[in-house]
Copies of this chain bind each other. A is one copy, B any other.
Amino acid sequence: MQDLFISPRNSLLENWVGAFAHAEVYPSVADVRIGKNTPSFFWLHVDANSQQWLSTSVAQILAEFTHATIVVLANVPQQAEAALALSEGAVGYCHAYSAAAVLVEVRVAVTHGGIWLGQDMLQYLIGTSRQLVTARPEAVSVALELLTPREREVAQQVSVGLSNKEIARKFDITERTVKAHLSASFERLGVKDRLQLALILNDKSLN
Contact = CB atoms under 8 A, between A and B. Distances in A.
Interface string A118-157: 1110000000000000000011111100100000000000
A62 interface: no
B206 A102 contact: yes
Contact of A198 (B97, B142, B199): B199
A195 interface: yes
A47 B193 CA distance: 12
Interface in A62-78: 75-76
Contacts of A205: 118-120, 204
Contacts of A191: 47-48, 75-76
Contacts of A196: 48, 75-76, 161
Contact of A11 (B97, B100, B140, B188): B188
Interface residues of A, number: 50
Contacts of A47: 190-191
Contact of A200 (B76, B163, B200): B76
Contact of A161 (B101, B141, B199): B199
A32 interface: no
Nearest to A101: B138
A99 to B, nearest CB: 5
A22 interface: no
A122 B158 CA distance: 28
A90 B15 CA distance: 43
Interface of A: 9, 11-12, 15, 47-49, 75-76, 94-102, 118-120, 138-143, 146, 158, 160-161, 163, 188-196, 198-200, 202-207
User: 3 shortest A-B CB distances, which residue pairs?
Assistant: A119-B205, A75-B190, A47-B190
